[in-house]
Amino acid sequence: MIRELARSGRVVITGLGAVTPLGIGVEKFWQNCLNGVSGVHRISLIDPEPFPTKIAAEVLDFQAEDWMERKDARRVDRAIAMAVAAARLALDDSTIVLTDELKDEFGVFIGSGIGGLNVMHENTRIMYERGPSKVSPFWVPYMIANMPGGIVSILNDLRGPNVAAVTACSTGANSIGDAYHVIKRGDAKMMLAGGVEAPINDIGVAAFCAARAMSTRNDEPQRASRPFDLDRDGFVMGEAAGVMVLEELEHAIARGAKIYAEIVGYGMTADAYHITGVHPEGRGARNAMLRALDRAGVSPHRVDYINAHGTSTPIGDPAETLAIKGAFGDHAHKVAISSTKSMTGHTLGAAGAIESMVCALAIRDQKVPPTINYETPDPACDLDYVPNVMRELPIEYALNNSFGFGGHNVSLLLKRV
């Protein structure tokens, strides 16, 4: 195989695919973000009555049969089907022509924080109700967290590097950052990268309710996710898939591709503190941001927008505020910050992917989406969270934060091209 990769080491985003509670397709998703639309409703995928939390951010109009052969759509986990859809949308958006030669240089890094939870839950039920002989032979293949990326690779005949990050709520951002490194070092020309999660079933809702991590504002679902607001009472579970096409800059220019933004910095750290709780001073989060800036050679004052992790939890939001202050100093009070989880809910392993898309689109359109439901300021969260209304703003650099159970911290820095 003859390799003719350009070696600038610059990596750009040339395609976006979004399957989210705010819509399927990146433009619908983006316009709803800018307009401050909430995707949170009473749960419809299961009966929510037995649970303290009865609300979530579902992809209401998603049907696996629209994206896969019917027999496959019936078997696969919902997370796999959503990843397949997001990947197809991203490839279509990129307008790439998949030649046989390019397929050898086109990889897939799509991760999931949990994996096929629906297949796992259903077959566990079958095991105990009907016995081991009734368990599906597809249980293991469609449960494991690498299978969304594996199926995307198979369906599109993409034969480059294929890996799945599993870092809880940092998964989508880790996948993008790792794919960026693959292209940067010359191991591929293009990558599909992102994350997916479909956790809204009986066991998923029960588990997070048991952890007392979720909002119980059941009577006001669209006001429940309220990052940085004094009256926040926990996160709202969401489902989504977000996939990007990443491409070596010269390859993108040569084919006349549209470019959303360039990835210029990737920082990751560990809190080394607690299995689910964040470090109270945001130590690891601060260092992830500083590493992303350092790798890019960009000083903090040049960052114009931060898409915060901002989950709407009592402890997490103040810790991220402290982390931003620690990383940005005086500029922390000048940079625009928003949490789009106020609209999408917390989509777990997909969050870092769809929120990195937000950064790319904010750079493209020079607009910052709001943090909705921000009504009562919290003295512990005293930065500019772009409350409730979209803002037009010159954006040269945008930073996305993603933090996960286990103390995983990821920051991705994007630049206008």
Instruction: Give tens-digit pLDDT for 296-334.
Output: 999 999 999 999 999 999 999 999 999 999 999 999 999
- Work out the widest C-alpha separation in the chain, in whole angstroms: 63
The reply to whether 266-415 shares the fold of 11-254 is: yes
What element of type H or E holds 141?
helix 139-143
What was the pLDDT predicted at 47? 98
- What is this structure's pTM? 0.96
pLDDT band at 7 (very low <50, low <70, confident <90, very high): low
pLDDT of residue 5 exceeding 50, the answer is: no
The fold of the 266-415 domain, in CATH, is Peroxisomal Thiolase; Chain A, domain 1 (3.40.47)
The domains of the chain are located at 11-254, 266-415
Q: Is the dihedral of CA 115, 51, 44, 223 positive or negative?
A: negative
Structural contact between residues 169 and 89, judged by C-beta atoms closer than 8 angstroms: no
Active site residue 33: no
Q: Closest by alpha carbon to 215, among 240, 229, 233, 192?
A: 233
Write out pLDDT tens, residues 134-177. 999 999 999 999 999 999 999 999 999 999 999 999 999 999 99
Burial class (CB in 10 A: 0-12, 13-18, 19+), 400: buried
Active-site residue, from 169, 209, 359, 381: 169
Rounded to an integer, what distance in angstroms lies between the CA atom of residue 355 and that of residue 312? 15
* Average pLDDT for 291-296: 98
What was the pLDDT predicted at 8? 73
What was the pLDDT predicted at 10? 97
Active site residue 346: yes
pLDDT band at 32 (very low <50, low <70, confident <90, very high): very high
pLDDT of residue 3 exceeding 80, the answer is: no
pLDDT band at 257 (very low <50, low <70, confident <90, very high): very high
Active-site residue, from 121, 251, 279, 346: 346
Instruction: Say whether domain 11-254 belongs to CATH 3.40.47.10.
Output: yes
Active-site residue, from 251, 309, 381, 408: 309
Mean residue pLDDT across the chain: 96
